[in-house]
Structure 1
Amino acid sequence: MNTIQKISKNIGLIVISQILTYVLAFFTVIYTARYLGADGFGIISLALSIGAIFGVFVDMGISTLMVRELARDKSLSNKYISNSILMKILLSFITFCLVVLTVKIIGYNQIESIVIYVITISVILTSFFGLLNSLFQANEKMEYLAMANIINSAVLLLFTIIGIFYGLSIIYFAGIYVFTSTIVLIYCLIVYLLKFSNIKFEFDLSFWKPTLKESWSFGIIFLSGMLYTYIDSIMLSILKTTEAVGWYSAAYRLMYIALLLPNAINIVIFPVMSRMYSNSSKNSLNLLNERYFKYMIIVGIPLGFGTTLLAKQVILLLYGNVYIPSIISLQILVWAIVLTFAGASYTQLLQSTNKQLIITKISIACLIINIILNLILIPPYSYIGASFATFITEAVLVGYIIFITYKLGYGISYKIVLKDLIKVLFATSIMSIFIWYFNSLNFFLVLIVAIIIYFITLYIVRGIDDVDIEILKEIRG
């Protein structure tokens, strides 16, 4: 099996699992939001935001470093696994103490505090099975990673439905996350013990310092990313209400689902790019980056225009009239996702080529920008201000990452980028005109026809070229 076929096979596995995962997660979000209302959903979203931010301290970038290093040298697997588990036990204790301290300082009420603590426990458990998932990813055994994702979402949805059926409290809905994380952790341990090897603990304190020294930059990248992604919800809860958090999160959760494709490709591409860099295959790296970028704008740009035009129908269909305020947030946040799509290949390229420290510095700068923007925009504009803060921050982040990549000599030819953008924008314009004139018709009919129109137009204008067709042939084998 050649590299293209292996990448496509793994992407296929991850995309299928991600589709199932996101479909299940989609229903979990919708059912939870409708059942708990904007205020209750806001509390859960707040807790998940705090958990996501502090969860970085449990991992400190160790999992990402593992993927890169084990993709290059698999003999280090047991050393990384055993020492990382011990490191994470210590980091978990420190993290939980930090969460308790934060909750006390902010002064959340009893219910909010309990939900936050419970969600934090689930995040800690998630970090441990994430360690094993990194091993699966480094070995390009995406089927195990895919199954872990499916189990996680399926169990979460099942017990969400049970909670709604029996009319259980918000504490139960927080507890679901702990139970789900435990089930997935058990699954990952079983796979590791059966398919890889027994964990032989190699307590090597001398291994800790260089590992944490190398991984911390990944950790700071994730922390900065999590902060400027989720700090909006925390600041909304402090400066406004949990109801505002609920309206904001309803739109944001939909955008999270839209990240299915880049997330799936990132999981597969990261070890491949890392291996290409270690083998000094710069031409292959550049080609992979070019195609990755092209496919992301082919999906991302029409997603932005389509969602902007159909936002009202989407919110009313999924959440109901209670979440009408979420419409404008969705129309703003979708463009942050478009930017994320555009910058995905460049971010992976820098991480794969040992340039993660550059992303760290950019991420810290963007975090500061995001906090300042939230302080300025949330008081007068509430969740709408938070949405604009997210968009502006993402624009700065992606723009500077692309600029740095060009400066390092890995940039895509301006002519190629311009040519691809013109074709994608033309096809998107035709699609958008159709949506604009017929958006009063059945939502699903308009959506399906719009997608067909877009890809037919893209094919006619040669937005899908000979190289893309050749890649498709390679994938088919």
Structure 2
Amino acid sequence: MKYFQSLPFAQYGKNVFWMLGGRMIQLMITFWVTAMVGRYLGPESYGVLNYARSVAGFFLMVSVMGFESVLVRRFVDAPERTAETLGTSIWIRFLASLMSFGAVAAFAWLGEPDEITRWLMLILVAGGIFRVFENLDFFFQSQVQAQFGVKVRLLAVLGQSLFNIWLIYRQAPLIWFGVAFLIRHVIEQGGIVWMYRRHFGGLRRLSISKKAAGELLRETWPLLLSSLIAVLYMRMDQLMLRFLMDHSAVGYYAAALRFSEVWYFTAPLLTSALFPAIVKAKQVDQSTYRLKLQQLYTLAVLLALAIIVPTLFLGGWAIQLPFLFGASYAEAVPVLNIHIWTLVFVMLGSMVDKHLLMEGNQRFSFYRALVGLGVNIFLNLWLIPLWGITGAAVATLISQVVSSFLMMAIFPKTRTVFWMECKALIGAEISSLFRRGRAKLQGPSQ
């Protein structure tokens, strides 16, 4: 990370440390406990749980509203309007959460015949109502105080994990594992509110403004639509496996995804932690701004490859370990070996969305997500009947390549993004970094 020290990046190291470090600890806790839950429930019931999570997760994206990047930027650019921006965004998100709950209730009772699955969907989407205060955490990040949110999330994950272990010990029915997610959200959001009151004052300081609401909605609607579509096409494989095959297929597939999607957090966290510095670099100097963007693209690819290579060698063995998912999930191994490659393009896609936002071209995030969804649906319909769960993994990988990489070559305003991705993928920027590092070690020529 030495090449990030030249400008405002060094002061954001604490944010990176807390966000990445905290997420890694969460992963170590949840990964093992989730595997325990999967082994206890078995592929079929585990598939039901993950299908319900996929449905609820899609509708919950409405409540997220694409706020993260927009709010962090507004907090940095216009600190005098922080109370107004924060209060208005929380109110908008609360109303959106109620809409999400109503939509899931309608879907569950009209389109899902199984009663347990219906109740799981409702319990899981109810957590979205408590997540409205997540916007306070975006404020923490903008103030380089990410540790407040990280500490609270660690406590919430620990509470959920202990509850899950107790449920397994008591041989609880499936529905209670949905309740565990709800408990996590209650602990997490309560803790975030407490942290905000302790360090920045009470919520009464916040205000609501129609003007701010209009500005936020105009700025976030492309990100909201693209996020909805992105979540749908990232979960389309599990939804289509449910209808084209069965719940057990969803269970095997979800087990493989636990080993690949568990790493998806790295790019969003990295870009979120450094995003305030990118904003300031753009305000100071365009050449430095472009250099830092290119370095982040390259770092995203390097991180992805550092995860993919050991996963290819060890992931299949790890899935079948008796203290993880176990031998009954052997069918998940081929899926993992294909799906893990999506990590490269998921990480690039996260950088693309930040880059487009900085340039005021958020609508292209929507276009790329829409095309990715279309490609994913077509390929799933074609490949799942041919290759089963492996076909779903291939469909997801190809759709990620198209939406996160190839789509950027089509539009003139996004070709700069495409060429930065190319440099990161072919290693041109990596080579230049090594050359600069070697030149520094050698010192000035005599």
- Residue from 148, 152, 162 that aligns with 1:148: 152
Aligned-pair CA distance for 1:8? 2.2
Mark the CA change 1:111 to 1:269 in structure 2 (over 3 Å): closer, same or farther: same
> Cα–Cα, structure 1 residues 467 and 406, in superposed 2: closer, same or farther, change >3 Å?
farther
* Equivalent residue, structure 2, for 1:68: 73
Q: What is the deviation of 1:400? A: 3.1
Partner of 1:8: 13
Deviations 1:137-170 (A, max 9, x none): 2222111122133123212211111111111111
In structure 2, relative to structure 1, the CA distance for the partners of 1:254 and 1:53 (3 Å cut) is same
Q: Is residue 99 of structure 2 the alignment partner of residue 94 of structure 1?
A: yes
Letter in 2 for 1:264: L
Distance 1:81 1:302, change over 3 A: closer
Q: 1:61–1:222: 8 Å Cα contact kept in structure 2?
A: yes
1:411 Cα shift?
A: 4.0
CA shift for structure 1 position 219: 0.8
Which residue of 390, 393, 396 maps to 1:390?
Answer: 396
User: For the Cα contact (< 8 Å) 1:252–1:333, is it kept in 2?
Assistant: yes
**Mapped partners of 2:119, 2:202: distance in 1:** 36
Give per-residue Cα distances to partners, 1:65-87, cap 9 Å, x unaligned.
21221121122221122222222
What's 2:330 paired with? 324
2:138 maps to 1:134 = yes
Distance in 2 (alpha carbons) for counterparts of 1:411 and 1:365? 20
Residue identity opposite 1:367 in structure 2: L
TM-score normalised according to structure 2 size:
0.89
Name the CA distance, whole Å, in 2 between partners of 1:65 and 1:419.
31
SS for the counterpart of 1:167 is: coil
Alpha-carbon separation, structure 2, partners of 1:252 and 1:351: 29
CA distance in 2 between counterparts of 1:331 and 1:154 reads: 30
Q: RMSD value over aligned CA atoms?
A: 2.6
3-state SS, counterpart of residue 320 of structure 2: helix
Note the residue ranges of structure 2 that are not aligned, 5 or more in a row: 441-446
Q: Is 1:377 the equivalent of 2:369?
A: no
| Structure-2 change in CA distance of 1:382 and 1:292 (3 Å) | same
- Which structure 2 residues correspond to residues 355-366 of structure 1 after superposition, within 5 A? 355-366=361-372
| TM-fit CA distance, 1:406 | 6.0
**Does 2:347 match 1:341?**
yes
Distance change in 2, residues 1:241/1:285 (3 Å): same
**Alignment map for 1:35-434 (pairs within 5 Å):** 35-126=40-131, 128-199=132-203, 200-277=205-282, 279=283, 281-317=285-321, 318-400=324-406, 402-403=408-409, 407-408=415-416, 411-412=419-420, 418-420=426-428
Equivalent in the alignment of 1:456: none
**SS of residue matched to 2:171:** coil
CA offset at residue 312 of structure 1?
2.4
Q: Give the whole-Å Cα distance in 2 for the aligned partners of 1:151 and 1:67.
A: 24
CA separation in 1, counterparts of 2:187 and 2:312? 38
**In the superposition, relative to structure 1, how do residues 266 and 422 fare at CA in structure 2: closer, same or farther (>3 Å)?**
closer
Structure 2 counterpart of 1:450: none
Give yes or no for contact 1:343–1:401 (8 Å, CA) kept in 2.
no
The structural deviation recorded for 1:280 is 5.1
SS at match of 1:285: helix
Instruction: Please give the secondary structure, in 2, of the residue aligned with 1:325.
Output: helix
1:196 deviates by: 1.3
Instruction: Report the residue type matching 2:35 in the other structure.
Output: I
TM-score, L = length of structure 1: 0.83
Pair 158,401 (structure 1): closer, same or farther in 2 beyond 3 Å: farther
Q: State the shift of 1:120 in Å.
A: 0.6
Structure 1 residues 296, 465: closer, same or farther in 2, change over 3 A? farther
Give the aligned partner of residue 426 of structure 1: none
413-422 vs 356-365, greater mean Cα deviation:
413-422
Question: Greater shift after overlay, 410-419 or 377-386?
Answer: 410-419
User: In the aligned structure 2, how far is the partner of 1:417 from the partner of 1:337?
Assistant: 13
In structure 1, the residue corresponding to 2:341 is in which secondary structure?
Answer: helix
| Change in 2 beyond 3 A, CA 1:107/1:216 | same
Q: Deviation per CA, 1:445-473, whole angstroms, max 9, x where unpaired?
A: xxxxxxxxxxxxxxxxx975544998xxx
Deviation at 1:367, TM superposition (A): 1.2
Report how far residue 9 of structure 1 moved: 2.4
CA contact (8 A) 1:217 1:360 kept: yes
CA distance in 2, matches of 1:53, 1:82: 25
* Secondary structure of the structure 2 residue equivalent to 1:47: helix
> Which amino acid in 2 is paired with 1:114?
W
Deviating more after overlay: 338-347 vs 309-318? 338-347
Alpha-carbon distance between aligned partners in 2 of 1:413 and 1:113, rounded to the nearest angstrom: 42
User: Counterpart of 2:444?
Assistant: none
Measure, in 2, the Cα distance between the counterparts of 1:256 and 1:468: 35
Q: Look up the SS of the partner of 1:386 in the other structure.
A: helix
- Distance in 2 (CA, whole Å) between partners of 1:232 and 1:194 is 43
Opposite residue 387 of structure 1, the aligned amino acid is A
Alpha-carbon distance, 1:275 to partner: 3.0
Is contact 1:57-1:91 (8 Å) kept?
A: yes
Amino acid at match of 1:248: Y
Provide Cα deviations, 1:184-229, integer angstroms capped at 9, x if missing partner: 1111101111211222353323332232121111111211111111
Cα contact 2:408–2:417 (8 A) shared by 1: no
Report if the CA contact (8 A) 1:329-1:387 is conserved. Answer: yes
Q: What is the Cα deviation at residue 53 of structure 1?
A: 0.8
Secondary structure at 2:207 match in 1: coil
In structure 1, give the amino acid aligned to 2:296: Y
Match of 1:473 in 2: none
| Residues 233-262 of structure 1: per-residue CA shift (max 9 Å, x gap) | 122212221111111110112112222432
Contact (CA 8 Å) 2:12, 2:144: kept in 1 or not?
Answer: no
In the alignment, structure 1 segments of 5+ residues that lack a partner are 424-461, 471-477
Give the direction of change, closer, same or farther, for the CA distance of 1:38–1:465 in structure 2 (3 Å limit). farther
- CA distance 1:420–1:171, change in 2 (3 Å): same
